[in-house]
Amino acid sequence: MNSYGQNRGMKRKANVLLERPKEVGIMQYAQSRANEIEALAEEIKKNTGARKVFQSLPIHMRRRAMSHNIKRLPRRLHNIARKEYDKITSNPKRPSRRHRRRPKNLLEEYQRRQRKHIWLETHIWHAKRFKMEDRWGYRIPLHSTDKSIKACYRATQNYCQIQDMSYLCCIEITGEEKNILEGLGHLTDSATGLTFGARSNMNGTREGHTCVYKYDKYPFHAIGCVSYLWKPETNQDESNLISRQLWIWCHPSCYNELWEELKICFKPENRDSDISELHQQTFSSGEITVISLKDTLNRHRLIGPSSNQILYQVLKPANILKKDASEQWWQKYYQIPSKSLAYTQQGEFIESLDKTPSPGEYTPYSVIGVTVGDPRISRPDRKTKVTKIKDVDTDNTLCYDKLVSDVSMSALWNSDIRQEVKATKMSDQKLNELKSDIMIPGSLADLGIEESRVPVILVQRPGTSGNYGSGWDVILPQNWSMAFWLTFIYHGARAAGSRDLESLAFEQSTTYYPNDYPDTSAGSIHEQKSAEKLKNKFDKRPPAKRCNYVKLGIAAPFLYPWRDLTSSWTDGRIEHIYVLRDRKCLKVLSQMFNANTKSINQQYPNKTMPEDNTS
């Protein structure tokens, strides 16, 4: 360094020394910084690291008992140790798997996991074999983890496919027939087809379907498509002449909306819904009572030509003639001669299932009630295959003659019987012990009066041309879903999920709720979620692998812009859109399109294309 640089450095040091204070007031400085010093001391005392407080001591001062006995620590560290101990007790260690898998603890864990989304009774069985998804407040099986698209199609075409539809919600309406129809008339319109007052469905031998709307809002504000079932009326039962009973089955996505509209229709005395003794929503208006049977009835759907044979093997009519000192519910119920006669006719109908090659041979949406024995008794040890019926001369009149109101009667309509059937179900452990005592292996156990009698309702579902997609819906009481489900599976039915049900609707060219109902709230929500999934999937692709929708001229590739389309027709003056469901208008449009097609075919007849000889 040259002399010039040294001089500059000395001048700077001299200037700094001249600016230093002549004296420092220690007390004043400490007093002005008292809060900062106190905060610094507190931070020093805190143990912010991952080590415990006793680990901050020197090694020669540490003791093993310090980990659980605070008094073995120095007194100055007691407060810090107590805080650490409180954190440990507030966040205890996770119990071992052996403790968690105990039946009591496992049941509590399952109930905790159902707080947000309800599980079906077959959830654990599905969770081990299916892809599960949260939909409509339930945990729904989506599709099998195996490659099952082609297998499910084969099952619906040649064999039997089963699906758990227990997430469908049921609403029971009890009261005078006139008042019920008058109230529900505000939610439907006869232009769309048959309504709740259709004569073919009023006697309870057939299930009806209709589209419901908000109160006097037709054709706008559609809620969704529902199915309904009237309790069969008999002349012998005088109570049916006074009061009728109606079940309305709806999709869970529109359940809350339909429940609120029913309150508007019947104008309950108390606007808020009450909770019955069975923890069910209910309200009453005069002589009409509306009860929510949601999650109290199970529903299995069997599809395919082999459904009849599987039902014949599983649904064995129970013996109701056995009498005992303590009268059971079936002995009291079948004391009435008309119901006893109905039981005999129902047994004959079950026998006819084994002689009918397809469920499509029966009357569409026919209803059959039957009381069967415990299905676990007839369950085979291993899965079996269904044998097809070949060269059987079936008389179709047999299927139609048996559809009278007596055949449709069922004890499942009685809430007291449903609760008794649920409570008196024999446990699997006790049943297996009784079956193990049988001397002849493979023979069925005769439990006598101890065997459960289960009331069941069968609802026929028609198919398309060639009876494709025809089958049966089996309505079961609560707590019996898993018993019937496993028996159906072991007799040859193939389980399917929600995706397979959508594929079936596509193959049948029928609508599927809520995907094909864009004018409903549930349909619009489904479209938004579907568009979001497709958009996320599109964004995950590399830019070079994305389809250029702008160049292709596609404005909305992930969502149907219904409002933009209709606004272009009406210059933006339309507020609400709706789907045309008027039968007369649709018939006129169909005739117009068919006429135009015929005229086009006449003007341009089919011509064979010339062969290409350039090759």
Query: Distance between CA 111 and CA 123 in Å, rounded?
Result: 12
Do residue 176 and residue 272 come from a single domain? yes
Do residue 328 and residue 406 come from a single domain? yes
Predicted pLDDT at 607: 45
Do residue 376 and residue 490 come from a single domain? yes
* 8 A C-beta contact, residue 359 and residue 307: yes
Instruction: Using the predicted structure, report yes or no on whether residue 436 has a pLDDT greater than 50.
Output: yes
Q: Which residue has the higher pLDDT, 487 or 449?
A: 487
**Of the candidates 479, 499, 519, which is a domain's last residue?**
499
**In-domain check, residue 412:** yes
pTM over the 0.75 mark: yes
Hey, which residues does 172 pair with through a beta bridge? 247, 291
pLDDT tens digit string along 458-506? 999 998 888 888 999 999 999 999 999 999 999 999 999 999 999 999 9
Give me the CATH number covering residue 274: 3.30.1360
**In-domain check, residue 71:** yes
Do residue 344 and residue 481 come from a single domain? yes
Those residues whose C-beta lies under 8 Å from the C-beta of residue 524, and which sit 6 or more positions away, are 518
Do residue 224 and residue 253 come from a single domain? yes
Do residue 272 and residue 341 come from a single domain? no
**In-domain check, residue 120:** no
* Residue 237: how many other CB atoms lie within 10 Å: 14
Percent of the chain with pLDDT over 90: 31
Predicted pLDDT at 37: 84
pLDDT tens digit string along 239-252? 445 689 999 999 99
Average pLDDT over the chain, rounded to whole?
Answer: 83
Do residue 328 and residue 446 come from a single domain? yes
For residue 143, what pLDDT band results from cuts at 50, 70 and 90?
A: very high
Q: Which residue has the higher pLDDT, 391 or 196?
A: 196
**In-domain check, residue 126:** no
Of the given ranges (29-38, 113-122, 269-278, 439-448), which has the lowest mean pLDDT?
A: 269-278
Predicted pLDDT at 300: 95
Instruction: Using the predicted structure, report yes or no on whether residue 535 has a pLDDT greater than 90.
Output: yes
For the residues 28-36, what does the mean pLDDT come to? 82
Q: How many domains, in total, are found in the chain?
A: 4
pLDDT tens digit string along 195-240? 998 888 888 889 999 999 999 888 888 999 999 999 987 654 444 4
Do residue 319 and residue 288 come from a single domain? no
Do residue 376 and residue 256 come from a single domain? no
For residue 154, the Cα-to-chain-centroid distance in whole angstroms is 25
**In-domain check, residue 99:** no
Predicted pLDDT at 238: 45
Q: Cβ-count burial of 141 within 10 angstroms (0-12 exposed, 13-18 middle, 19+ buried)?
A: buried
For residue 89, what pLDDT band results from cuts at 50, 70 and 90?
A: low
Do residue 287 and residue 322 come from a single domain? no
Percent of the chain with pLDDT over 70: 83
**In-domain check, residue 469:** yes
For the residues 421-450, what does the mean pLDDT come to? 79
DSSP-derived secondary structure letter, 570: H
DSSP per residue, 199-254: HHHHTSSB-EEEEEESTT-TTSSEEEEEEEEEPPP-SS-THHHH-EEEEEEE-GGG
Query: Distance between CA 289 and CA 175 in Å, rounded?
Result: 6
For residue 455, what pLDDT band results from cuts at 50, 70 and 90?
A: very high
**Of the candidates 292, 324, 356, which is a domain's last residue?**
292
Do residue 335 and residue 458 come from a single domain? yes
Look up the domain containing 45 and give its range. 25-90
Instruction: Using the predicted structure, report yes or no on whether residue 398 has a pLDDT greater than 60.
Output: no
**In-domain check, residue 95:** no
**In-domain check, residue 324:** yes
* Element (DSSP H or E) covering residue 90: helix 78-90
Instruction: Using the predicted structure, report yes or no on whether residue 83 has a pLDDT greater than 70.
Output: yes
**Of the candidates 232, 267, 292, which is a domain's last residue?**
292
Do residue 314 and residue 436 come from a single domain? yes
For the residues 134-149, what does the mean pLDDT come to? 91
Predicted pLDDT at 14: 61
Of the given ranges (195-209, 372-386, 392-406, 565-579), which has the lowest mean pLDDT?
A: 392-406
